[in-house]
């Protein structure tokens, strides 16, 4: 007879969450290999037969981050309070780029979702300090959103 407790279940990730993670993989690998994200994306798309194809939203995120990379990095640098881009963990930097892009240029993504997804990614993939850092920085960007959109 059941005791009322069920075995822990793995959280089911929505499609967009998976797409964000796949975009993060592309951006992170491009940074590690010191190549442009668009080149890395092209390489991934060319190899799509050997792996699960990239979701359309992943492609959109990588292209959007690459297209606006200078502006995104300027915003991150401005609102990071005491941390230069170079001092940030690579995964944090890449997650922040996705988060800023979604906050400012993805009208179909609610601000709270963009921030929560970014925090969740760094919670899973980065250091103990990263979730509060990412949450704080993206929160500041969200509050200044009206003045940042070009």
pLDDT tens profile 110-126: 999 999 999 999 999 99
Share of residues in the chain with pLDDT > 90 (%):
79
Q: How far is it, in rounded angstroms, from Cα 64 to Cα 31?
A: 16
Question: Which CATH number goes with the domain that contains 23?
Answer: 1.10.940.10
Supply 78's token pair. 């401005």
- Assess if residue 19 is contained within a domain: yes
Specify the pTM.
Answer: 0.89
pLDDT of residue 2: 44
Number of Cβ within a 10 Å radius of residue 45: 13
Please state the domain count of the chain.
1
- Assess if residue 8 is contained within a domain: no
- Assess if residue 10 is contained within a domain: no
- pLDDT tier at 46, thresholds 50, 70, 90: confident
pLDDT of residue 81: 81
Asked whether residue 88 carries a pLDDT value surpassing 90, the answer given is yes
Cβ atoms of 20 and 2 within 8 Å: the answer is no
The range of the structural domain enclosing residue 79 comes to 15-148
pLDDT of residue 1: 43
- Assess if residue 7 is contained within a domain: no
């Amino acid at each position: 007879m059941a005791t009322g407790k069920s075995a822990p279940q793995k959280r089911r990730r929505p499609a967009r969450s998976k797409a964000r993670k796949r975009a993060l993989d592309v951006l992170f690998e491009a940074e590690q290999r010191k190549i442009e994200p668009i080149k890395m994306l092209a390489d991934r798309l060319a190899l799509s037969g050997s792996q699960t194809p990239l979701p359309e939203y992943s492609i959109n995120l990588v292209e959007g981050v690459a297209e606006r990379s200078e502006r995104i990095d300027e915003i991150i640098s401005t609102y990071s309070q005491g941390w230069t881009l170079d001092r940030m963990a690579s995964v944090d930097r890449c997650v922040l780029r996705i988060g800023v892009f979604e906050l400012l240029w993805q009208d179909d993504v609610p601000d709270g979702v963009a921030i929560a997804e970014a925090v969740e990614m760094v919670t899973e993939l980065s250091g103990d300090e990263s979730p509060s850092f990412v949450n704080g920085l993206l929160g500041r960007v969200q509050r200044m959103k009206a003045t940042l959109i070009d």
